[in-house]
Amino acid sequence: MTANGKPYVLVVEDDAPVRNLITTTLESQNYKYMTSANGSQAVMSAASGNPDIILMDLGLPDMDGVDVIKKIRTWSVAPIIVISARSDDKDKVDALDAGADDYLTKPFSVEELLARLRSTLRRIQYLTQKGEEEPSVFHNGSLTIDYGAGTVYVGEQEIHLMPLEYSLLCLLAQNVGKVLTYQFILDKVWVNAIESDMSSLRVYMASLRKKIEKNSSQPQCIQTHIGIGYRMVRLN
């Protein structure tokens, strides 16, 4: 974070007019930023600049943005917001599966871009605050969440979660035994939720289950209540 509490943003966009629109928008809100015009530069900038948030185009000249996300995810958990002209559900799912946290379709409004940034910033602040407020450890069966360290274990194995996956897991754990509606989860985790985020919730929940459940096709820890929402079951 910068001195004014705003995140340091990496903008990955090869289209100069779009890049200028984004950077002008960031400047108007006093965000500090750096830019990259291709995938190779993006990987180097993410490694050397340590950004708090990454805005990522998918249609880059030297490599696909999804591949860039995968590379960055090998060491960084910085939230990644995809900004792309690709509007198919498959493209969105592929980006989210690769490690993106949010997806904004071109053309987009300046207001929506800023809303997504604010939502992501609140998520970062929420996780930081929870870590400070709850230096405790949550146990449920083989699942362990160390709020203070921000780590998750299944048995003795540490599980790598994306920031949004971690937010989902903590929300369920803090309400263990309760059925949380889809809308409640979207309001708490996405903050500025829109209708299309429901598909993102399903993707992230499926990804989270693969990481913490012994058999994700028959989940024991996180149950789906069809048409209502999700519940973490108390296992011990």
Residues 46-71, mean pLDDT to the nearest whole number: 92
The reply to whether 142 and 112 lie within a common domain is no
The answer, yes or no, to whether residue 126 has pLDDT greater than 80, is: no
Residues 210-217, mean pLDDT to the nearest whole number: 86
Hey, what amino acid is at 131? Answer: G
Digit-coded pLDDT (tens) for 81-91: 999 998 888 88
Residues 95-117, mean pLDDT to the nearest whole number: 88
Q: What is the pTM of this model?
A: 0.64
φ, ψ dihedrals at 60, nearest 5°: -95, 155
Last residue within a domain, chosen from 98, 125, 152 = 125
The answer, yes or no, to whether residue 18 has pLDDT greater than 90, is: yes
| Of 116 and 2, more confident | 116
Distances (CA, A) of 152 to 28, 138, 192: 38, 9, 26
Q: Which domain holds residue 203?
A: 135-232
The fraction of the chain above a pLDDT of 90, given in percent, is: 43
Digit-coded pLDDT (tens) for 157-212: 999 888 888 889 999 998 999 999 988 888 888 755 555 567 788 888 988 999 99
Measured CA to CA, the distance from residue 8 to residue 56 in angstroms comes to 14
Find the CATH number of the domain harbouring 29. Answer: 3.40.50.2300
The reply to whether 144 and 120 lie within a common domain is no
Digit-coded pLDDT (tens) for 135-161: 588 899 999 998 878 889 999 999 988
The reply to whether 103 and 174 lie within a common domain is no
Find the CATH number of the domain harbouring 146. Answer: 1.10.10.10
pLDDT for the residue numbered 4: 62
The reply to whether 13 and 116 lie within a common domain is yes
Give 14's pLDDT tier (boundaries 50, 70, 90): very high
Give 3's pLDDT tier (boundaries 50, 70, 90): low
The reply to whether 118 and 180 lie within a common domain is no
The reply to whether 51 and 74 lie within a common domain is yes
What b-and-e string marks burial along 92-102, b requiring 16 or more CB atoms within 10 Å of the CB? bbbbbebbbbb
Measure the CA dihedral 129/31/50/11, to 10°.
130
Does the residue 2 lie in any domain?
no
pLDDT for the residue numbered 131: 52
Does the residue 130 lie in any domain?
no
Last residue within a domain, chosen from 94, 125, 156 = 125
Last residue within a domain, chosen from 95, 125, 155 = 125
| Of 224 and 2, more confident | 224
pLDDT for the residue numbered 23: 96
Q: Quick one: CA dihedral 23, 27, 33, 34, positive or negative?
A: positive
The answer, yes or no, to whether residue 63 has pLDDT greater than 80, is: yes
pLDDT for the residue numbered 77: 79
pLDDT for the residue numbered 76: 83
